[in-house]
Structure 1
Amino acid sequence: MYNKYKLSGQTLSLEVVNSHPYLGIQLQDDMKWDTQVVHSTAKASRILGLIKRNLYYCSEQLKSIAFTSLVRPHTEYGAVSWDPHTKGHCKQLDRIQRSAARFVKHNYEKSEGAVTKILCDLEWPRLQDRRSAARLALMYKITQELVDIPSDQFLTLVTRQGLRRKNSQNYQIPHCRTNTYKNSYFPRTTQELQGTTADASEPQLTSITPPTCLAYMLKV
């Protein structure tokens, strides 16, 4: 299927595709992130394989630094926009870190909970916790006008009398009719702060304050 456009007097045919990269993020026509997750894990896996071949006899500290600086960034690039919510996608990304943890500790034990213990020893938080912290940190920057994203176009500010915290900013969690919108950035992040679901019958409010975001950032 092709669409024809005219540019500078020339007729151009643009092919319709299912996905296409934009600023390093794979966008799909169905608003899902399957292609992006596959792309991120594939690139991270290739670099992890390179590290395993070249740093096999190096110290745990060097291996850990190599992973956190060369591999993990590929699983988190632009993740505030495409942070997956399905278990399948989360597990697909977590396999990279779990494989790296075994390599760093040189522990390939197959018993239940072995990898979890290794991750605790390395003090590596779950990747989904890091992505959540990044989304919450960006939300704080948006509400404080520290980034050029207009909050009034995406967030509804609600004022209530008798608030205990004078400096708190309360935003209403939008009503979502589709899972795609429900798990997009603004509805998902505000409902995480509230600790509730976005399809409640009554409008939900959430407060965005520096201590709240700091508590999440301390996880990483």
Structure 2
Amino acid sequence: MEWDTQISHVTSKASRVLGLMRRNLYNCSEKIKETAYTALVRPHVEYASVVWDPYTKTHTNKLEKIQRNAARFLKNNHERTPGTVTKLLSDLDWQSLQHRRQVARLALLYKINNNLVDIPSDRYLTPATRQGLRHRNNYSFQIPFGRLNIHKNFNRTIKEWNTLPESITSSPSTETFKTHCTNYI
């Protein structure tokens, strides 16, 4: 099972909406353009991303290109010199879409572990039997065996979870977890 079709569909739709914004909001303020981007474009590239979050560099770059194009449009800066878009993203204080998806995946695992969603934790999460260098917290889980691409996101999320400090994994609420996780990663 590959995610090429999903990634292509998501990037195509987000690009079309961004093009619509370029045509209709060209003379608007940065604040209006940013609000339009976060309300109209970003949901397309983040909807259900905990399931299809790409693990290949090609797919990740395809998605990040949407945000980079949005930053150019927002700041009305279309220079092609190296580092221009990186500086624009820094000025806008936008996290990469990859980082946002990673926090979303970890937040879902937090919700599963704390029975905040209707996914049985005992069916999918097995506590780690021994603590080692890879586990920094008492809430570590064993990584299930799986060769299919469909397992890669779940296994990657558990690996990332196991490296989080216990102060983050034992957060009292989902919002606290997301805040600590965003600042830690």
Question: Which TM-score band applies after superposition, normalised by the shorter structure?
Answer: 0.7 to 0.9
State whether structure 2 residue 22 is matched by structure 1 residue 57: no
Structure 1's 97 and 219: CA in aligned 2 closer, same or farther, altered over 3 A? farther
More helix by share: 2
Measured after TM superposition, the shift of residue 183 of structure 1 is 1.4
State whether structure 2 residue 107 is matched by structure 1 residue 137: yes
1:44 matched to which residue of 2? 14
Superposed CA deviations along residues 73-132 of structure 1, whole A, max 9, x for unmatched, are 000110000000001001111111100000000111111111000000001110000000
Which of 42, 47, 51 aligns to 1:77? It is 47
Higher-Rg structure is 1
CA RMSD across the alignment: 2.4
* Match runs of 1:59-208 below 5 Å: 59-158=29-128, 168-176=138-146, 178=147, 180=149, 182-185=151-154, 187-195=155-163, 208=169
Q: Percent identity?
A: 51
1:216 matched to which residue of 2? 181
2:134 matched to which residue of 1? none
Amino acid at match of 1:192: E
Amino acid at match of 1:98: R
| Residues 140 and 162, structure 2, Cα contact 8 Å, conserved in 1 | no
In structure 1, distance between residues paired with 2:79 and 2:184: 27
Gaps of 5+ in 1: 1-30, 162-166, 196-206
Amino acid at match of 1:215: H
In structure 2, distance between residues paired with 1:219 and 1:78: 23
In structure 1, distance between residues paired with 2:61 and 2:49: 15
In structure 2, distance between residues paired with 1:219 and 1:40: 28
Measured after TM superposition, the shift of residue 180 of structure 1 is 1.6
In structure 1, distance between residues paired with 2:27 and 2:39: 19
Measured after TM superposition, the shift of residue 181 of structure 1 is 5.0
Q: SS in structure 2 opposite 1:109?
A: coil
| Residues 130 and 219, structure 1, Cα contact 8 Å, conserved in 2 | no
In structure 2, distance between residues paired with 1:67 and 1:174: 38
Gaps of 5+ in 2: 132-136
In structure 2, distance between residues paired with 1:129 and 1:58: 28
Superposed CA deviations along residues 6-32 of structure 1, whole A, max 9, x for unmatched, are xxxxxxxxxxxxxxxxxxxxxxxxx11
Q: SS in structure 1 opposite 2:141?
A: strand
Measured after TM superposition, the shift of residue 194 of structure 1 is 2.9
Structure 1's 149 and 180: CA in aligned 2 closer, same or farther, altered over 3 A? same
| Residues 51 and 66, structure 1, Cα contact 8 Å, conserved in 2 | yes
Amino acid at match of 2:152: N
More strand by share: 1
In structure 2, distance between residues paired with 1:219 and 1:51: 34
Q: SS in structure 2 opposite 1:172?
A: coil
Superposed CA deviations along residues 198-218 of structure 1, whole A, max 9, x for unmatched, are xxxxxxxxx933266542245
Q: SS in structure 2 opposite 1:184?
A: helix
| Residues 140 and 213, structure 1, Cα contact 8 Å, conserved in 2 | no
In structure 1, distance between residues paired with 2:22 and 2:103: 29
